[in-house]
Amino acid sequence: MNIIAYQSEFRPDLPAVFGAKDYQDFRKTLEEMDHLLTTTRIEQQIIARKITEAEEDLSERRRQHVYRRYRQGLRYCILLGITGYSYRKLSIRAADSHLFQWFTHTEQLGAIRPLSKSSIERYEKMFSDEDITGLIHDLNRAAADEKQAEKILYQQTALRFDEIFADTTCVKANIHFPVDWVLFRDAARTIVKAIQLIRNQGLLHRIGEPQSFLTKMNKLCIEMTHTRKKKGAKKGRKQILRRMKQLMKVIESHGNNYYQLLSDRWQETDWSEAEAQIVLDRIGHMLDQLPLAVKQAHERIIGERRVANAEKILSLYEADVRVLVRGKAGAEVEFGNALYLAEQADGLIVDWEFIKEQAPGDAKLVSSSTKRIQDQYGSISSYAADRGFDSHGNSLDLEELGILNAICPRSVNELEIRLEDPEFCRLQTRRGATEARIGIFKHAYLGKPLRSKGFAHRSCRIHWCILAHNLWKLGSMAAEQRKKIAEEAEHVA
């Protein structure tokens, strides 16, 4: 690939800060991350590719400007993953922090030009999942190359990617607990607020005070909550649900009327056609799902019949959320999407899969994962995971590929036999740290919960967080190695 040359620019030095060990460690790691991005040239390559793909005939000056903006956006997205900040908070912090300004190249000749929260979000979604995936693998391969490792990690030995440790988790969606009758409240709130927006634009249809519908629905929800503690709770809940259904019919009727009104007369409002379409989509999305939500609540509360997980509406706003039976203390059932992660011995994430549909068994993920890892990093010597990944087919596949099967077997007798193998014990002992890796990644990088809405946006944020995680991990290793070298040199002197 041809690398486009970009003019280097003046970059002010960071101010001297004494003490504050936590800040010093954070700063040194961020400096090493900057060194990683610059030395490996992976940052320059992806930005050059993005500019080339745009197929615009740009002047040299304009090309330099676009490059700087892409680089700034990319580094802001990395900071999102490291800090766990929201778009708004990061925009404010970057405008105030010399360290963040230095890392994102925000300060230019004394003038501070940070990105707004909207610009940060736009840049986050401007890079596709494939772009970020390429960045992650390029970064990992740089650490696996001895020449590159000497430059970026300050050590003679490159990192190895032959020992793989894997596990799965649930990335919880940012939704309330999926109670059937609460879906009525969600639908009522969205439809009524959209009606209020339309009425504010001067389009009126016969209706009572819109806010009164929300008041009535909220009262019914409170009544439904407290009825379960009273005598005859089952019968009382059925009666309240019937009243909720009657109220929803009225709200649905008004929603249809205002949908049609705005569709026919949007030119009379101050909105553009695109802005009017957003409100129409908001109402239409609720009206399309309302019959199924009513049926689901009726079946479960009045009919007292179970509804299959595949047919349940868990959220009116997140269509791709699944029911995941985890069977763990405090998390018997979780609502979100399954995430598969595989790391190498030093903790770098080398493979992942964010699953949109209902998650298959863990055992079904092994074959495709080992193939992807081998395509990116070469041969694998061992694969370790918990007993959920164990299957006869996986044992045969790993044996055929010449990979040591360090998956914990389901059979107790077989486990007792395997525990006599020192190598199996070593790999299973190391695999325990993968549980911690997943906990760190979920809580320190993704946030609790992941705030992005929609499966595509959640997937995008996960990819950015994996890149940020690996950069931080390599930056920490480099900072530690540089500190060790400096201490040895000082000792010799």
For CATH 3.30.420, list the domain ranges present in the chain: 160-175+319-451
Strands (E) across 382-431 are located at 382-385, 404-407
The DSSP code sequence of 4-53 is PP------PPPPP--S-HHHHHHHHHHHHHHHHHHHH-HHHHHHHHHHHH
Residue 178: the pLDDT is: 76
* Per-residue DSSP letter, 381: S
Q: Read off the pLDDT band of 330 (50, 70, 90).
A: low
Nearest to 369 by CA among 391, 343, 387: 343
Three-class SS state of 332: strand
Could you tell me whether strands 382-385 and 404-407 are parallel, antiparallel, or unpaired per DSSP bridges? parallel
Per-chain mean pLDDT for the chain: 91
* Bridge partner residues of 107 (DSSP): 112
The DSSP line for 131-183 is HHHHHHHHHHHHHHSHHHHHHHT--SSPPP--EEEEEEEEEE-S-----TTHH
Using an 8 Å Cβ cutoff, are 301 and 180 in contact?
Answer: yes
The two beta strands, 111-112 and 163-172, are unpaired
- CA dihedral (125, 130, 131, 134) in degrees, to 10, reads 150
Backbone angles phi, psi at 470, to 5 degrees: -65, -35
Residue 5's pLDDT band (cuts 50, 70, 90): low
- For residue 337, the cross-strand partners are 171
- pLDDT of 3 > 60? The answer is no
**Among 243, 106, 136, which Cα is nearest to 181's?**
243
How would residue 2 be classed by pLDDT, with cut points 50, 70 and 90?
very low
Q: List the single range of 49-58, 383-392, 482-491 with lowest mean pLDDT.
A: 49-58
For residue 492, with 0-12 CB atoms within 10 Å meaning exposed, 13-18 middle and 19 or more buried, which class applies? exposed
Largest CA distance in the chain: 88
- What pTM did the predictor assign? 0.91
Q: Is domain 160-175+319-451 in CATH 3.40.50, yes or no? A: no
Name the DSSP letter for residue 2. P
Helical residues (DSSP H) of 54-152, grouped into ranges: 60-83, 87-96, 98-104, 117-126, 129-144, 146-152
Banded model confidence at residue 265, pLDDT cuts 50, 70, 90: very high
- Over pLDDT 70: what percentage of the chain? 96
How confident is the model at residue 7, as a pLDDT? 55
User: pLDDT at position 104, please?
Assistant: 92
User: What is d(CA 332, CA 116) in angstroms, rounded to the nearest whole number?
Assistant: 40
pLDDT tens across 198-223, in order? 999 999 998 889 999 999 999 999 99
Q: CA separation (Å) from 83 to 102, 283, 398, 472?
A: 16, 36, 38, 11
pLDDT in tens, 19-60: 889 999 999 999 999 999 999 999 999 998 888 887 667 788
* Residue 1: predicted pLDDT: 44
